[in-house]
Each structure stands twice: as C-alpha cells, then as structure tokens.
Structure 1
Amino acid sequence: MVSIEHVAHKILTYVPYVLVLFDMRYEGVHCGREAGVDNHMEMGKKLLAAGQLADALSHFHAAVDGDPKNYLAYYRRATVYLAMGKSKSALPDLSRVIELKPDFTSARLQRGNLLLKQGKLDEAASDFQNVLKAHPSEKESSEAQSQLTKSDELQRLVAQAKSSYNSKDYIGAASLLDTIIDTCVWDITSREMRADCFIQMGETGKAISDLKAASKLKNDNTQAFYQLSTIYYHLGDHEMSLAEVRECLKLDPDHKQCYSHYKQVKKLNKQIRSAEELIHEQRYDDAVSKYEAVMTTEPNVPQFTFLAKERICHALTHGQLTAKAISVCSEVLRSEPHNVNVLKDRAKAYIQEGLYEDAIKDYENASQHSENDRQIKEGLEEAQRLLKQSKKRDYYKILGVKRTAQKKEIIKAYRKLAQQWHPDNFQDPEEKKKAEQKFIDIAQAKEVLTDPEMRNKYDHGEDPMDPESQQGHRGGQHFHGGFQNFQGFNPFGSGPFNFKFNFN
C-alpha cells in the first residue's frame, strides 16, 4: 500500500516543474507577440516609405491589434491615414497617441493642425499651447507658435463674419469666410454660412459647391442635401433635385421637409420624362398636353415654365401645327433670343409656312452661337434653296397648301381651284387667256405634288416642270406649247379630260 506521505512527496516534487513549464509557455507567447508587433511595425514602415499605403495600413492595423498600448503603432497608422487623405480616421489615432504619451509633441502638433482645418479653433489653440509648454524642438516650437497666431487671427475673423452675416452684409461675410475657409478647409459651419451668403447674393453655383462639400464633411447632413435639392429645383434641374432629396431621405426617411419636397419633385420629374417619351414616340399632341400639365404642377418656378414652352415649341413644329409653333417659339425667344434649339425649331416652322426669309434669319442667328451644328447648316441651305425656288414657281402657294400637306389635301385644293379657274367659265378673251395659264399652273402643281418622286425632287430644289431642267423629263412636255395642246386631269372625277373651246 502506498502511503499518503509518499503521494504528497511526489506532488511536491513535481509541482515546481509544472510551474516552470507554465512560466516558460507564458514567456514564449509574450515574446512571440512582441516579435510579431515589431515585424508588423518594420514592414509597415518600409511599405509606407515605398508609397504602398494600403499594405502599410494593414500592417499597422495588425500592430495596433497586437499591442493596443503601442503609441507608435497608432502614430504610424495616423500617418498613413493622412497620406491617404483620410483625416477623419487619423484624428482618433492621434488622440490615442496623446492619451498614451502626453508629451509626444509631434502627435499633438499634427492633431492641432487637423483641428484647425476643421474649424475647431479653441481645441487647436489648446494643442499648440501644450506643444509650446513641452519644450519641443526649435522646428516644432516655431510651427506651434505660427499656428497659434493663425488660430487667434481666425477666431477674430469668424466673429467678424458672423456679425456681417447677422447684419445681412452677405458680400462682406462671404469675403471674410473666403479667408477663413482657405485655412479651415473642413469647417462645415463656415461652408454652410458662406453657401447661404451665396444664395442671398444669387450665386447659386458657388452655393452648390459649398453645400456639396458640407454634405461630405458631415455624415448625416440632411440639411445640406435638402438645400441642394431646393437649389437645383429652382434652377429647373429636376433630375439633380430628385437625386439630392433622395440622399436626404436615405439618411432620414422621416425628414418632413425632404419628404414633402420629394413628392413634388417626383411628380414633376415623372411628367417631364413622360413628355419626352411622347416626343420620342412622335406623339406630339400628347407631349404638348403633358408639358402644359408641367406648368400647372409648378407655376412658380420660371425655369420649368420656360422648359415646358421650349419643348412645346419643338413638339408643335414637328407635329406640323406650325402657325401655333411660331407663336410659342417666338414667346420663348423674347426671353432668350439666342436659344439655338428654339431658333432651329422656329426656322423649321417658318419653312413649313413658306416664310423662307424668316427661316434664313433664324438659322443665321443660330449659327453664330453654334458654328458646327450640322442641322443648322443643312436647314440654312434648304431655306436658301427654297427661297430661290419660290421666286420662280411655288406649287404649294399655287394650290394654297402647306409644305406638309398630305395627298388628299392637295387633290381637294386642286379640284376646288380647277373648278374656279376652268377656262370654260370665262367668256372675255383676256380673262379666258388668264384662266388658261392659271389652270395650267394649278394642274402642274397638282401633278408634281401628288407624285412622290416629282415632289421629292421639287422639295430638293428641282422643278420637274421646268423645260430647262434636265431632271424633269416627265411633265415638262405636257404643258409646253400652249393651252390648246393641254390634256390633264379632270377636276371633277378621276379620268382625263380634253379642253374644248368655242373660238367663234
């Protein structure tokens, strides 16, 4: 039998070896961890020096995780963040460095500079003062003193800017804020104040720039997105307005101002898109109605009224309601005389109305503001050709129809005029002779305009009935040689007829 004393002796003999073993394992882990942190720090430094910032950052992350109290790991990681332009991420690391090592003046100086850029002038001044108290190097001391002086000056300018702003001296306030923002580039408050100054001054483009910066500098800046949306809306940019108000609602779906504005912009945007689809589908009458609805939806923003009338002008021109198109286009051009698109549309409407000289003037005006526009060049050439042609014989004017008239309209006009000017209706020799020529012109006009090939030639500057034209073999001989040889179409039926005259 083994005695208790023997067992006790064995335990006491064994325990020291166990304790030593445990101690050796602990020391090994501790030494391995330190070695791992050192390796990450060394690799991070090399990669940072080589400009491989993302890889360097990964090593400094690992170093911080391996030793959360290693102030140098935080400092180096902050350095990488700054090199990557991520100052928001660098600031907490610099604060952690200062917490772990309050006399680390380089970290405090860098944090002061970041706080200065953010417009946190009191906090920045505090850091610069602490640097000066810590007996820094000559270089650090000089920089800290310079930045402290700058911080004090900026505080004075901020006070002046607020005073000018409250007094509604927006020009003065904006000028002071320009100086402040040159240094405090990440100062949200100053940018938002300057944006409001620009809005009051009517410089919306500059306001947009500041508000976009403010929306990025502050993660939940719903007010900046709301302001951006309303500015774009009043500029007539419904697409950008909708995009910005959606960003506001992403941050806060219950934002009352943004939600109310969103409903209005969404409705207007839908109407405008629908109208443009109708134009694309050549449903011009429906497009006009839709743009009239746009003006009803938003009657208080002139830009949307202007847009609607501009597009109505376009739709009416292409829908061949040319007289009305000219009226609407002219209304738009009174507000914006050099609107190239409207000038082109009105010129096209003028051509359809046979007002070629007016069309030429519009195309020439448009070309001064858009030199390389192919449509303007082609339109001008067409108007000039048609003007020249109209001084010879204008078959559309002879029948009293528009250039866009369909075949049925042309035949109807022809029959009416042929009945009116039929030579048998006149007894007086002089009147009969005049009627004969008139009747020939009417018949020629009908023949040219009801034949697709001949009409196409005529519309492109050739007269198929001109004996001198080598293009117009057909028809050119039909009427040559006098009325007594004429054989044409019966205006009262579909068959041919011969004129018979009693000359006795």
Structure 2
Amino acid sequence: MDNLSNIQWNKVAPCLVLLILDVVLEFSECTTQAEVNKHLQLGMDFLVRGQLSDALTHYHAAVEGDPNNYLTYFKRGTVYYALGKAKFALQDFSKVLELKPDFTSARMHRAEVYFKLAEYSKAKEEFLQVTYEDPYNEEAVAYYNQCDSWVSEARLAQAYIRGGDHRAAADTLSRLLEVSPWSAALRQLRADCYIALNDLFSAVSDIRAVNRLQQDHTDGYYRLATLLYQLAHVGDALKEVRECLKLDPEHKLCFPLYKKLKKVDKLLLQCEELSEGGQFSRCVESGRQVLKTEDTVTLVVFEAKRWICSCSVKDEQFTEALSACGSAIKLQREARVLADLADAYIGLEMLDDAIRTFKEALELDEGFQRAKDGLARAQRLQKQAEQRDYYKILGVKRSASKQEIVKAYRKAAQKWHPDSYQGDEKKVAEKKFIDIAAAKEVLTDPEKRAQFDSGVDPLDPESGRQPFQQNPFHHFQHGSPFQFKFHFN
C-alpha cells in the first residue's frame, strides 16, 4: 500500500508544484501590474501639477516594473521632452517605436526633438512618415515644409563664418536657435562668432547653455573658465574649472589653469579685504603680486592696477597713485578709477587736473555721486588756493595730527615772532605771524578744520561771518598785539 501511495505521489507532485508556481507567478504579475498602474497614476498627477521631476521618478519606476509597455516609455519620454532632455527623450520615443512602430504620436514627438536639435534631415524624414500615417496632420505638414528653409539658413551661417562676417553669422544663428534651441552645435558656433566680435558676455551665455546640453563635457568647462577669466570674473572662472576637474582631476588644460586662478583669486580677494581693513600698503603689495602672476589677460591686469591705484591714494602715496591710476585707465576707462586719479591730483595740489578728471568721470557716469562730490570739493579747494592754505603756512600734511600741528605752530611762531624783527621786516613778520596763529586756530579745532578741508575757510569774512569774528587778534583792534612776549604752550 505504501509503495502504491509513493507511486501516486510521484505522479501528482510535479503537477502540484507547477500549479503552485502558476498561482505565485499570477499573483506576482498582478501585484507588479498594480504597482506599475499606481506609479503611472502618480506620475500623471504630478505631471498635471507641473511637478516634472516628481513625475519622472514615478515613470522611472513604471518602466522598471513593466519594461515592455510602450506607453510607460512614451509617458516618460514626454516628461523628458518637457524638461528639454533631448537625449533621453529620443531614447524613450525610439523604444516606443521599436515596441509599436505605428504609434504616430511617438514618431511626431521624435521628429520634433530632431527639429529642436537642428537635425533637419532626420526631422524631415520623420515628419514625412507621420503624414503617411496621418495625412491630415497639419502640424507635421507645416514642419516638413520648413525643414529645407532651415537647412538653407544653416548653410548661410556657415558661409558668413567662412567669409569673416561674424555679425551676420551670429544673427542668422540666432534665428536658427529660436526654432532649434537644443542644438549645442549651433550655440557653439554662435559663441565662436561672439568671441570674434569681442562680445565675451554673450559668448559666456552660449557656452553655459552648451555645457547644460552636453553634460560631462570637460572642454566646455575649460572654455567657459577661460572666457570668464578674460572678463576678470576670477571667482566664477574658478568654479567652472573645478567642475572640469571633478570629471578629470588631471585634465591637461584645467589643472594648470586651476592653480593659476586659485592664486589670482586669493590675491584679488586680499586686495579687497586689506583695503576695507585700512591696510593700504599691503593692499598695494597684493596688487603687485597679481601682476607678477598675470601680465597678459587685460582685464585681470586692470583689476590689479585698479587696486594699486585706489590703495595708493588712500595711503596718500599720490605720486605712485598717478602712475598706477594712469596705467589702469589706459587699459579701461572707468569712472571709479578716474575719481581715484582725481583724488591723487588733489593730494598733489594739481587742482585743475583734478577738476578736469572728475568731469571726465561724470561723462562716463553722470550719476556718480563720488565724482560729483569730488568735483565740488576740488572747485572749492581751487578757490581756497587763491586765499590762505593753513597746511602750507604750518608746513604740515593734510593728514597731520593735532600734536604735529601744534609742534609746527610753535616752530613757525618762534621763527616769525615780530619781536625778533625791525623795520620793514617786522611788518612782514607780523603778517606771517597772524597767518600762523590763524592756521593754529583752524587746524586744532576739529569743526573749523573740517570746514577748511571741505573747501570753506571758517575765518574768511566772505563766508558770511562778521570780520570781527574772523580776526584771531580782534581784541587788539586799537594797537599792536606785539608789545609783550608770547608763551608757546
């Protein structure tokens, strides 16, 4: 009996195992399809709300769950299309047509991708096939009829480039890019035209777009970094060259450029920080270090010389500032550098030159307040120069401290004290002594000194004050003030 049972079991067991496997597989398929349907529904929900990245995530999952379903590829392809990811959109639409060759919508979408990539011959073939499948598709017919004219435009752009007419070429390429914005080749050509026209900012914009269209493109990052460096956007150039090195740490062009950019960027940042911190001589030295590192890229050289100019003025090294500012202006005329140059002229008491230079700055930027204020100050100082200059009288710098001013006063007062002179020399000494006393009064009084520094003589009767108030010896109106000995405290 046992042997009979074993024989029967041996016959039944394989059938039972197959039955169980069928049930498991059927259940698994049902579960997988339910998950795929859920992902498709969620993808559609996000798509309707315009959340394309979230929609893409669920369509990825749907494709993985059902790799033979052409609709999942099509839906994912439309999201790629909406995101402007031409490469992946093409892959999905091609997969759809592999699974279902008569799916006209997928073919239409693929044709449009080719058109946006400026692959007009491929686009034309696809649009023609769409018209075979759907003769009343007016959009496909319209695109088909345009293809040849855009091919002609592309050839015209090439002809302009060969002829050296880069402006006409750039204009033609701009028209092409309006209908084919995903073409890296067209953008690269237009960038070349902009570079030839010395329109580097426009070239940077196009090369950025090329890098987005061609990801993992080291040459693109290198070229962008080089252009940004030529524009003296050193920090931005450094970011781009780092992107290049992420892809290839030993890139033969990016690595040496990185080392140079890193040094120049550090030095220029030091110039800014040292200037803001009042360490002007060190700022000048950092600017000179930039020039030792870079002496050919015009705008980087300009930035270094601009800092040397500005910090030399602030450090009251006016003669050195004249040279640095003039050298910077030869490279690029900027209102702020002209204002620095004008301040250097003021420091050297070359007031006519200062006024002329401030006016030049205002011609470049009529709203530049610093130049407006500087011009007014220079004009006041010019008027003041025709009168008494209290700093000259005491022989001190405009930056002299109160202690230095008092010391200079004592020395000058002792030298020109009227009691030490006789006859006509006494009259000269009296005049000088009065000026010396007036200089001390003004320059040791913070409020009066500030007025004088702004171009207004606080002791000038024409300033609106009473003459009695202006004369530092008004209490000696009836008789000589020099009938006694002075004590110089």
TM-score in terms of structure 1 length: 0.82
**Aligned equivalent of 2:173, options 174, 177, 182:** 177
- Residue 59 (structure 2) aligns with: 60
Query: What stretches of structure 2 of length at least 5 have no aligned partner?
Result: none
Structure 1 position 137 matched with structure 2 position 134: yes
Shift of 1:321: 2.0
Cα distance in 1 for partners of 2:286, 2:9 equals 100
Which of 397, 400, 403 aligns to 1:402? It is 397
Residues 313, 329 of structure 1: 8 Å contact kept: yes
Q: TM-score, normalised by structure 2?
A: 0.84
Is the CA contact (8 Å cut-off) linking 1:354 and 1:403 kept in structure 2? no
Q: Could you tell me which residue of structure 1 aligns to residue 305 of structure 2?
A: 309
Q: 2:19 and 2:367 mapped to 1: Cα distance?
A: 90
Cα distance in 1, alignment partners of residues 30 and 286 from structure 2:
77
2:438 is the alignment partner of 1:444: yes
Indicate yes or no: 2:224 matched with 1:210. no
Equivalent residues in 2 for 1:279-298, closer than 5 Å: 279-298=275-294
Deviation at 1:464, TM superposition (A): 5.9
* Structure 2 counterpart SS, 1:138: coil
| Larger CA deviation: 61-70 vs 378-387 | 378-387
The CA deviation at 1:152 is 3.7
1:116 aligned onto 2:115: yes
Contact preservation (8 Å) 2:170, 2:194: yes
Q: Is the 8 A contact 1:47 1:53 kept in 2?
A: yes
User: Residue 424 of structure 2 aligns with which residue?
Assistant: 430
- SS at 1:484 equivalent: coil
Contact 1:222–1:252 (Cα < 8 Å) also in 2 = yes
2:481 is paired with a residue whose SS is: helix
Q: Which residue of 2 aligns with 1:502?
A: none
Which one-letter code corresponds to 1:440 in the other structure?
I
Relative distance call for 1:311 and 1:59 in structure 2 (3 A) is closer
Q: How many residues align?
A: 486
Equivalence for 2:185: 189
Residues 431-477 of structure 1 deviation map (CA, whole Å, 9 limit, x = unaligned): 32122121221233234434556534544546369794699799564
**1:198 corresponds to which of 180, 194, 201:** 194
* Matched residue, 1:264: 260
Q: 1:64 to 1:471 in 2, by over 3 A?
A: farther
Identify if the C-alpha distance between structure 1 residues 25 and 451 changes in structure 2 by more than 3 Å, giving closer, same or farther: closer
CA distance in 2, matches of 1:480, 1:204: 72
Structure 2 distance, partners of 1:14, 1:333, is 97
In structure 1, distance between residues paired with 2:130 and 2:145: 14
Q: Deviations over 1:245-274 (max 9, x none)?
A: 222222222211222222222222222222
Are residues 1:455 and 2:452 paired?
Answer: no
Contact 1:111–1:127 (CA under 8 A) maintained in structure 2 = yes
Deviation at 1:98, TM superposition (A): 0.8
1:478–1:486 Cα contact (<8 Å) kept: no
| Equivalence for 1:224 | 220
Partners in 1 of 2:44 and 2:468 — Cα distance?
85
Tell me the alpha carbon deviations over residues 207-248 of structure 1, each in whole angstroms, 9 at most, x when there is no partner. Answer: 212211111111122222222222222233322322222222
Computing the radius of gyration from Cα coordinates, the structure with the larger value is 1
Cα offsets for 1:343-377 (capped at 9, x unmatched): 33234334444555654554455455555555445
- CA distance in structure 1 between the partners assigned to 2:350 and 2:263 by the alignment: 40
Q: For the residues of structure 1 that align with 2:288 and 2:376, how far apart are their CA atoms?
A: 34
Q: 1:27 to 1:399 in 2, by over 3 A?
A: closer
Match for residue 161 of structure 2? 165
Contact 1:310–1:342 (8 Å) recurs in 2 = yes
Match of 1:341 in 2: 336
Unaligned runs of 5+ in 1: 497-504
Judge conservation of contact 1:465–1:476 (CA < 8 Å) in 2: no
Distance in 2, matches of 1:471 and 1:336, equals 52
Kindly report which structure 2 residues correspond to 1:458-469, keeping only aligned pairs within 5 A, or say none: 458-459=452-453, 461=456, 463=458, 468=465
Q: SS in structure 1 opposite 2:398?
A: coil
Q: Which amino acid aligns with 2:285?
A: S
Q: Distance between the aligned counterparts of 1:47 and 1:451, measured in 2?
A: 74
Change over 3 Å in CA distance of 1:440–1:47 after alignment to 2:
closer
Q: Quote the offset at 1:401 in angstroms.
A: 3.0
Paired residues for 1:474-485 under 5 Å = 475=472, 477=474, 481-485=478-482
Distance (Å, rounded) in 2 between the aligned partners of 1:29 and 1:91? 32
Instruction: Give 1:400 shift.
Output: 3.4
- For 1:311-368, what per-residue CA distance to the aligned partner results, in whole angstroms no more than 9, with x for missing partners? 222112211123443454355456655x321233234334444555654554455455
2-structure distance, mates of 1:225, 1:16: 64
The CA distance in 2 between the partners of 1:396 and 1:479, in whole Å, is: 25
Per the alignment, residue 78 of structure 2 pairs with 79
Moved more, 196-205 or 53-62: 53-62
Percent pairwise identity: 40
AA aligned to 1:77 is R
Instruction: Provide the aligned C-alpha RMSD in A.
Output: 3.7
Once the two structures are TM-superposed, the CA of residue 149 in structure 1 deviates from its matched residue by 3.9
Aligned counterparts of 2:73 and 2:89: Cα–Cα separation in 1: 9
**Alpha-carbon separation, structure 2, partners of 1:193 and 1:444:** 72
Is the Cα–Cα contact under 8 Å of residues 86 and 182 in structure 2 kept in the other structure? no
Once residues 129 and 71 of structure 2 are traced to their aligned partners in structure 1, the CA distance between those partners, rounded to angstroms, is 20
Does the 8 Å CA contact 1:314/1:325 hold for their aligned counterparts?
Answer: yes
Q: Distance in 1 between matches of 2:265 and 2:12?
A: 88
Q: 1:484 corresponds to which letter in structure 2?
A: P
